Amino acid sequence: MSVAGNGSRPVIEYLSVYKAFDAPVLSGVNLSVQAGEMFALFGPSGTGKSVLLKTTLGLITPDRGDVRVAGESVYFGGHRSIERIRDKVGYVFQYAALFDSFTVFENIEIGIPEDRLSRMSRAEVRRNAWESLELVNLEPAQVLGKLPAELSGGMKKRVGIARAIAGRPEILLWDEPTTGLDPVNTAAIERLITQLSEELHVTSLLVTHDVQGGLEMCDRVAMLEGGVLRFCGSPEEFRESDDAVVRAFADREAAIAALDVLDVR
Amino acid sequence: MSRRSSFVSSPPDLISRVLAALGGTFSSVTEHAGQLGQLVWRMGVAVVRLRVPRRIIFREIRILGMQSVPIVLVAAGLIGIVTSQQGGYQMQSNLPLYIMGSVVVESVVLEMGPVLTAIVIIGRVGARITAELGTMKVSEQIDALYSVGRDPVEILAAPRVIAMLISMPLLVGMANIVGILTGMVSAQYTLGLGSETFFYGARLFWHSYDLFYSLLKALVFGGVIPVIAIHMGLRTTGGAEGVGRTTTQSVVFMTLTILIVDALFPPLFLQ
């Protein structure tokens, strides 16, 4: 399935992306995400969603195919191209991936692109970190000097988001941002994702297992299964799909029925 | 009984297995060598381009160097005592006792000080670096650095290597002094050898070059230990179990390398 959106211009394009580790993970994924769009990618565990997300920044190199971000090729554009792409993209990691030996301030500071950071005064960097923390609803005065080990799981996620937005990116990639959180924190982070996407006018690509949250937040959704796109469309189309596997992600009864279809023991 | 088909595969014979093992080892060694060479090159480029944050270098000097002083000095003190005691035992009634001064000083400065300090540093610093970077690798912190456009070699690797290149000669210098002093005190109490006689014997066979040799060893060890530790840390895969496995491999790799490099020093620098 090759899927392009209907919007203005594509800012992320996956062009026949293949990747195998011990076994094939991605088997020719074609997908594009439009400017300003909120896009959710669902799929069973281990189906390659995070791998696909990592190819966007060159963190994992595909065996075949290419990824284009804001018109630039990640794999055929050279070193400068990758640097420009990374300056435009903020990546929120599944478990925040904060640097343990750095304070919250230093963690956020490192999210600012280097050339911009070199032109900023210490006061400006501090103001940026302060604003980034306020955007993720954390109290800057309380957390700026703390180490990640002194924060709760929910606070770490928020600091990870603050680091991703510190460089004021055009694109945000969210790798299962609500994994491991309680329902209240999950709802809070989801509200934050919507709020940040609107306030910062960014394109968001969200990989998540939280299907209901994704369907409520996003303009379009897709489902990756068996290394290929099984579905791509609007949340309404997803809910009304008669594909047993897609339906399994939309409601629990269908999920139980799909165990046989997917041969899950 | 049907005859077995000639297509049925049989277990590989001994020669095939030996060749496969040799091939695997050769492949692994060249892979490590290539990755180590690339790491050293990238660190060199980072240093030449002045892209290594000084703030992190100073922090690493404090964590890796200054915080290692107590354990290094304790080890050095014990080395001096043991060298003095065993030397005294072997020389009883065969050689003049003032030779003990030379035996302790030369043993500590040429060999014991640098090598045993390196072994202590492998346990305290090398294992720490591998475990730390390995944990960062499996918890996506290395990916996070790349995602924000930063090179882990500039931020994580080069500062640690520079910190150890600065710290190691200083640690070995301190270990040499403490080892000699404890050796002298030990000789005084157990053999009745006065400090003047001890230093008289030490001066008889002393060459200024010995100190250079000792500090050169320290400098080389100070580079080898963190480079291997970083290389192994950045190769880590497989969660907590992978971090433990890689740290063990790293300690073995560092220890063997230090002993091999140590064995190469006399033919290269003492001829």
Q: Which DSSP string corresponds to B122-168?
A: IIIIIHHHHHHHHHHHHTTHHHHHHHTT--HIIIIIHHHHHHHHHHH
Residues of chain A neighbouring B148 (CB-CB closer than 8 A): 86, 91, 110-111, 113, 163, 167
Task: Identify which of A100, A101, A110 has the shortest CB distance to residue B148.
Answer: A110
Selected residues 182-241 of chain A with any CB under 8 Å from a CB in chain B? none
Distance (Å) from the C-alpha of residue A234 to the closest C-alpha of chain B?
29
* Residue spans of beta strands (DSSP E) within A70-219: 72-73, 89-92, 171-175, 203-207
Nearest CA to A171 out of A198, A196, A203, A195 is that of A203
Alpha-carbon gap, residue B69 to A150, rounded angstroms:
29
Please report, for chain B, how many H helices and E strands are present, in that order.
12, 0
pTM equals 0.84
Intervals of chain A under pLDDT 50: 2
Chain B: closest CA distance from residue A11 (Å)? 17
Q: Which tens digit of pLDDT belongs to each residue from B186-216?
A: 999 988 899 999 999 999 989 999 999 999 9
Closest residue, chain A, to B149 (C-alpha): A86
**Which residues from chain B sit within 8 angstroms of residue A59, using beta carbons?**
143, 146-147
* The predicted structure's pLDDT at residue B191: 86
B141: nearest CA in chain A?
A97
Residue A122, judged by CB atoms within 10 A of its CB (0-12, 13-18, 19+), counts as exposed
pLDDT digits (tens, 9 = 90+) for A221-236: 999 998 999 999 999 9
Q: Locate the domains of chain A by residue range.
A: 2-102+168-233
pLDDT at A199: 86
pLDDT at A253: 62
**A177 in contact with B at a CB cutoff of 8 Å?**
no
Report the pLDDT value the prediction gives residue A256, as an integer from 0 to 100: 64
Determine whether the interchain pair B141/A58 forms a contact, defined as Cβ–Cβ distance below 8 Å.
no
The count of C-alpha atoms lying within 13 angstroms of the C-alpha of A99, restricted to the half-sphere facing its C-beta, is 23
Closest C-alpha to B266, from B82, B78, B106: B106
Tell the CATH topology of A2-102+168-233. Answer: Rossmann fold (3.40.50)
Alpha carbon distance B262, B80 (integer Å): 19
Q: What is the pLDDT along chain B (271 residues), one digit of tens a residue?
A: 445 555 566 777 889 999 999 999 999 999 999 999 999 999 999 999 999 999 999 999 999 999 999 999 999 999 999 999 998 888 777 788 889 999 999 999 999 999 999 999 999 999 999 999 999 999 999 999 999 999 999 999 999 999 999 999 999 999 999 999 999 999 999 888 999 999 999 999 899 999 999 999 999 999 999 999 999 999 999 999 999 999 999 999 999 999 999 999 999 998 7
Q: Do B146 and A114 touch (CB under 8 A)?
A: no
Helix (H) or strand (E) holding A1: none
- Answer yes or no: are the C-beta atoms of B187 and B121 closer than 8 Å: no
B141, B145, B148, best to mutate vs chain A, most A CBs in 10 Å? B148
**Interface ipTM:** 0.85
Contacting residues for A161 by C-beta, under 8 A, at least 6 apart: A92, A136, A177, A189, A192, A196
